[in-house]
Amino acid sequence: MRYLILSDIHSNWQALEAVLEHAAGTYDCVLCCGDLVGYGADPNRVIDWSRENVQGIVRGNHDKGCAGLDDLDWFNNAARSSARWTQAVLSEVNLEYLERLPRGPLALDGFSLVHGSPLDEDEYVLSDADAAGVSGYLEAPLYFFGHTHIQRGFRLSHPSVWYLGQVGQDRERRRFDLERRYAYLINPGSVGQPRDRDPRAAYAIYDSESRAVTLCRTRYDIPGAQARILRAGLPAHLADRLALGA
């Protein structure tokens, strides 16, 4: 089975559309590591699509915040105002869908999905030290995670950690063959708000038969997404950062 692994779409319809076009024909099933909404201007369009097309998903912290399941106090100002705006514009059926998203880990075909870390859905796995900190507690040999908006993989052999290389700015795909003697934590990157200094939309393809992961990047209509954010009256900073990938 070939899985399209998405994370941190953040109501960015333009980015999601570009990813689906770029990935067309390379996957059989769609999975998501959370944060469908928050920051961007098209939460209903993204959730309508998710309800129809995503076969496995875990909730993210913005999904919880926008569904009213979590206190917005710890969000920064831009995140909080976009969460309030999202809550106000969501259709009833989409709000219900968001409320019912499961907490990770979600165990699938020999691998698991989480939003933050395998141990805590709200924790960030950014560094090799973060990855080493959870590597003794893994219940699956492969986890896909999100939350950091940084496309990055970690290869683990407790207590050692190696980074998997990134997709270069001049490339669109980079494939890694997984080895049975290691565990892996892999972040497909953020579809709708990348923060790794590459503004292109990010995703991954996992082929469970060949045990290969391909990290992918594709350009999308950033001005279109920015115009939607500004027209919605959301903070201009949320539009600006899309062009920076930061």
Euclidean distance between CA atoms 18 and 217, whole angstroms? 10
Cβ–Cβ < 8 Å for 130, 161: no
Structure tokens at 213: 């992961």
Nearest approach, Cβ of residue 109 and Zn ion (Å): 25
Number of residues that bind Zn ion (CB under 5 A): 2
Structure tokens at 139: 């219940």
Q: Which is nearer to Zn ion, 62 or 174 (CB)?
A: 62
> Phi/psi of residue 238, each to 5°?
-70, -30
Contact window for Zn ion (CB under 5 A) among 3-11, 76-84, 132-140, 226-234: 3-11
Euclidean distance between CA atoms 42 and 82, whole angstroms? 11
Contact window for Zn ion (CB under 5 A) among 35-43, 129-137, 198-206, 212-220: 35-43
Residue 8, interface with Zn ion (CB under 5 A)? yes
Cα atoms in the 13 Å half-sphere on the side-chain side of 206: 25
Nearest approach, Cβ of residue 201 and Zn ion (Å): 14
Residue 63, interface with Zn ion (CB under 5 A)? no
Structure tokens at 85: 């705006």
Nearest approach, Cβ of residue 175 and Zn ion (Å): 25
Residue 85's closest CA among 180, 188, 30, 10? 10
Contact window for Zn ion (CB under 5 A) among 7-15, 91-99, 114-122, 225-233: 7-15
Q: Which residue is at the shortest CB distance from Zn ion?
A: 35
Contact window for Zn ion (CB under 5 A) among 1-9, 110-118, 131-139, 197-205: 1-9
Residue 35, interface with Zn ion (CB under 5 A)? yes
Residue 121, interface with Zn ion (CB under 5 A)? no
Cβ–Cβ < 8 Å for 76, 65: no
In this structure, how many other beta carbons lie within 10 angstroms of the beta carbon of residue 246?
A: 14
Could you tell me the end-to-end alpha-carbon distance of the chain, in angstroms, rounded to an integer? 33
- State the binding string over 206-235 for Zn ion (x if CB under 5 A, else -): ------------------------------
Enumerate binding residues for Zn ion (CB under 5 A). Answer: 8, 35
